[in-house]
Structures are given as structure tokens and as C-alpha cells.
Amino acid sequence: MLNKPILTQPLKTVSLFTGCGGSDRGLIDAGCEILMANDILAYAKDVYEANLPETDFKTDSIDQIKTFPAADVLAGCYPCQGYCQGGARDTGRKVNILYREFDRALRKIRPKVFIVENVSGMARSDNRHFLDAQLIRFRLAGYRVTWDFINAAEYGLAQERRRIFIVGIRSDFGVKYQFPKPTHGPGLKPIKTQREVLKHLKEEWPQSEFCDQDFHWYYLSRDRYRGWDEPSKTILANARHMPLHPMSPSLKKIGTDQWVFEGDPKKARRLSYKEAAALQDLGGWKFPDTAGLMSKYKVIGNAVPPMIFRQIFEALPEEVFS
């Protein structure tokens, strides 16, 4: 197990494409001070400020932000929905080149380290050029860059969530990042289960807290069920694609991309937004009623679980903190 870094003072941090603040909560827990956060989604700002009110949160479009505070750490989760498995892929969308704005900020700030989280789909063989383009830019900016897949279930989250993390350390430090080893799984701690996380949320049919749309053909084109004693399926930003609550009947495969309920479909429901938040390590967070249910699901599904971002940060080599 890696020793946690000892910070004599908080590391100044700038957070871009922040979302509702999951990654920033993890950094704060690790001893960072968030000087500035940015996201264009107004409801993300509402949630962020309800839970992390000390941070200066800007909703400007990133290309309109010309100056950034001096910082030791730059964190970012720039969107790449064209490579996401939660919907149709469109790799030509403008949103997929927002990494260039992150690169611009990186070159202006020149932090000791940067950390990026993104969808695993951009490392597929047919998309690998997109990942390589990012790595090249970051290396040309003067950073030693490492990337890997992280499945959050192997690090203590009660959810199967596979994402790419990219970590860069400024080249003058002369050290390279090594990702932390899994803590949960065979021969390690038991994988955390939905039962452990959801046991305090006992209301079976919480009114106005879950998406009650029909289970259409696309929803039933894949297995969206996991039982009480398993981690959940991936929490997504689209409420209609939210995994089933473990009290629901399980699903049975009857053909290619075809699943049916093994029990009464009327006893099935999706996870509520509060349950999804708990499975994202955002249990106890405030979600103001300044937007509707779909917006709550969206910011929760897009969030980075705080415990995961914290562990990525805490694996940084000591040289970065000296």
C-alpha cells in the first residue's frame, strides 16, 4: 500500500470541466485547495456551491476564460460524449476536442501535476488516435504522462465503473507516475456491494426521486440488473439508462441484445437519484430543487466518485509534494 503524501500546506488547484464537484471533493479530502472551478452547466454550479461553497465557481465557456490562478494541480474531466457507451457515438462532435482547451490551460498554469478522467471508449482501437492526440499534446507541453484504465469497484466503490485516467508530472521533477494497485477483489478486500451502500435508503418507491419511464427496447438491449450482494452497474448520466434497483426482478437474455424480466415488470424500477448518488460516493450531498429530476441524474452520472480521484492523487510521488 502506498503511503499517503504528507502536505505541509494545501496544494493550490484549478479544476476545469468540473461537473458537480465529485473530483474536487476527492482532492479536498486529500489536502488540496480548489482556487477555481469551471463548468458551463448551471445546475452543476448549484450542486457544487451547495456542497463546496468556498470555491470560486465560474460558468463561462472554457474558451472565454483567458487567465487562470497560479496552481500546483490542474484537474479536468473534459467531455468526450462521442466516445461514451451511454449513447450513440459521434466522434466528430466539437465537444470531443475540448482537450485542446485543457491543454491551453495546462500551458498557461504550468502546474506540478495534472489529472484527467475520461470515458474508456476513447481507447478503443478505432478511437485510439484521439487518445494519442491528447498524450502527444501533454508531452509536448513538458509533462511525463501516464494513463491507465481504472475500475472503481477494485478501489472500494460499490459500482462497476471503468474509466481512463491520465496523469502528468512536469518533466523537471524527473519522476513518472505509477497508478495505485487495486485494493478490492480476489485475494484482497471483498468487493463492496449495493447492500452496504443502499441499506439506509429503505423506501422502496421514493416518490418523485426515480425515473419511471417505460423500459423501452433499448433499455432491455443489455443487462442492467445487479443483485444486492454485487456492485451496481455503471451509473450513467441519462436517467432512462439508469441501472435497476436490486429489489427489481432480474433480467434474462433471450436473444442478441434482448433481455426480459424474470418476474413482474411492475415490481422493477430504476435507481433513484439519491441511490445513484450514494453509489457514486456522493451520499449525503445536497441536490437543490433548482432543476428537475433529469438534471439531478445527469450531474450525478457525470461525476467522478470522490474516493477514486483522491486515491489517484494520493499515489503521486513524494517529489511532487516537496
User: Grid coordinates representing 61?
Assistant: 465557456
Average pLDDT value for residue range 167-186: 98
Range 147-171 average pLDDT: 98
- The domains located in the chain, with CATH, are 11-186+302-320 (3.40.50.150), 194-285+296-300 (3.90.120.10)
Q: Give the helix, strand, coil percentages of the chain, each rounded to 5.
A: 35, 20, 50
pLDDT surpasses 80 at 112: yes
Q: Which of 20, 80, 84, 211 is catalytic?
A: 80
Beta bridge partners of 244: 270
Q: Which residues pair with 116 in a beta bridge?
A: 76, 166
Please confirm, yes or no, whether 80 is among the known catalytic residues. yes
Rg (CA), the chain: 20
Q: Which range (6-10, 39-43, 169-173, 202-206) has the least confidence? A: 6-10
- How would residue 127 be classed by pLDDT, with cut points 50, 70 and 90? confident
* pTM: predicted TM-score of the whole model, two decimal places: 0.93
Strands 73-76 and 113-119: parallel
All three cell numbers of 44: 452543476
Q: What number of residues does the chain have?
A: 322
User: Which residues are 15's β-sheet partners?
Assistant: 37, 75
Whether 87 shows a pLDDT value over 50: the answer reads no
Beta-bridged to residue 39, according to DSSP, are none
How many degrees, rounded to 5, is the angle at CA 50 between CA 56 and CA 105? Answer: 30
Q: What is the pLDDT of residue 88?
A: 45
Residue 231 contacts residue 159 (beta carbons within 8 Å): yes
DSSP 305: P
Percentage of the chain modeled with pLDDT above 90: 87
- Mean pLDDT, the chain, integer: 93
CA distances 18 to 38, 120, 177, 253, Å, are 6, 18, 23, 38
DSSP 88-146: ---TT-GGGGTHHHHHHHHHHH--SEEEEEEEGGGGSTTTHHHHHHHHHHHHHTTEEEE
pLDDT of residue 89: 47
Q: What is the DSSP letter of 203?
A: -
Least confident residue range of 46-50, 78-82, 108-112, 148-152: 78-82
- Dist. CA 129–CA 223, nearest whole Å: 30
Q: Could you tell me the CA-to-CA distances from 251 to 57, 204, 208, 222 in Å, in that order? A: 42, 19, 25, 9
pLDDT at 86: 47
How many other C-beta atoms lie within 10 A of the C-beta of residue 255? 7
For the stretch 29-37, contacts whose Cβ atoms lie closer than 8 Å and that sit 24 or more positions apart, written own/partner, are 29/306, 29/310, 30/4, 30/5, 30/310, 30/313, 30/314, 31/5, 31/7, 32/73, 32/313, 35/69, 35/71, 36/68, 36/69
What are the residues whose beta carbons fall under 8 Å from the beta carbon of 66, sequence distance 6 or more? none
